[in-house]
Amino acid sequence: MASGKSRRSAAKRAATPQSKASTATRPAPRPSPAQGQTSPASDAPSAAATATKAAPRPSSTGAAIRSAVLTGARRRSRMNRYAIQRRRRTRIVWGAIALLVVASLAYVFWPRGTTTKPVVCATNIHSGMTGTPTAAGGPPVVSGKLVTVGNTCLKYIDVKMGTGPAVKNGDTVTVNYTGWLANGTKFDSSVDTAFGHVAPFAVPVGQGQVIPGWDKGLIGMKAGGERRLIIPPDLGYGSNGAGTTIPPNAVLVFDVTVVKIG
């Protein structure tokens, strides 16, 4: 019996240091964190999970909103382009209309001096007016330069130059005159008693109060000047004539002396 107990005691003593050694080599238990604290090791997965949860995730509603915004922006951009194109087309159309209007007005009102045909006088009596009278009692012989008034058959000869200011449109000119037909027939005079009105004649120049040949032919004369006017039918009494004295389409010859101007 004693030997059996001794053997069990020896075995127990032999096992005790081994237990202590195994106890010493066993890893120490981790201290449990205090309440409200976490260990760094345990925090890492938790922080990653939190960051993953905090990251925003696109939702179908947000995508729809962004798509609508982009669609609206594209639509506005397209509408702006269309509006710019419409304005450009409108400006082009109005510009073309303005050019057509200007061209039409220029065609209507532009002077066509280069295309104006020279007037051909139907009756040539000018040589007879500066030489021998065509009939007894006709206009006396005069000398001087034969001048044509504009693009007409109106002619004149300045027999005597006057002095002072020249006659212009709007002036009232007092004159003496004698008139003949191309055949030498005298038909009127302010100095011949045979016609019953021996007195100077006041003429408002350029006012249409006398025949056009006088309105045009007196321009430029001066007080005391004498001028012979050779007036074609279109600037005289035309195709109607004047009573029984002046026949239709008559060429008229006047000797005019300016008494005063104004």
157 catalytic per annotation: no
Task: Kindly state whether residues 183 and 232 are assigned to the same domain.
Answer: yes
Assess if residue 155 is contained within a domain.
yes
195 catalytic per annotation: no
Annotated catalytic residue: which of 157, 158, 177, 230? 177
Annotated catalytic residue: which of 156, 230, 231, 254? 254
Question: What integer pLDDT is reported at residue 50 of this predicted model?
Answer: 52
Question: What integer pLDDT is reported at residue 200 of this predicted model?
Answer: 94
Assess if residue 58 is contained within a domain.
no
Question: What is the CATH classification number for the domain harbouring 205?
Answer: 3.10.50.40
Question: What integer pLDDT is reported at residue 253 of this predicted model?
Answer: 93
Task: Kindly state whether residues 91 and 143 are assigned to the same domain.
Answer: no
pLDDT along the chain (262 residues), means of 10: 52 50 50 49 49 54 73 81 88 90 82 54 52 61 90 93 95 96 91 92 94 96 96 93 90 95 92
Annotated catalytic residue: which of 237, 246, 255, 261? 237
Task: Please list, in sequence order, all residues whose beta carbon lies within 8 angstroms of the beta carbon of residue 25, skipping any fewer than 6 positions away.
Answer: none
Question: What integer pLDDT is reported at residue 192 of this predicted model?
Answer: 92
Total domains in the fold of the chain: 2
Question: What integer pLDDT is reported at residue 80 of this predicted model?
Answer: 86
Task: Kindly state whether residues 80 and 203 are assigned to the same domain.
Answer: no
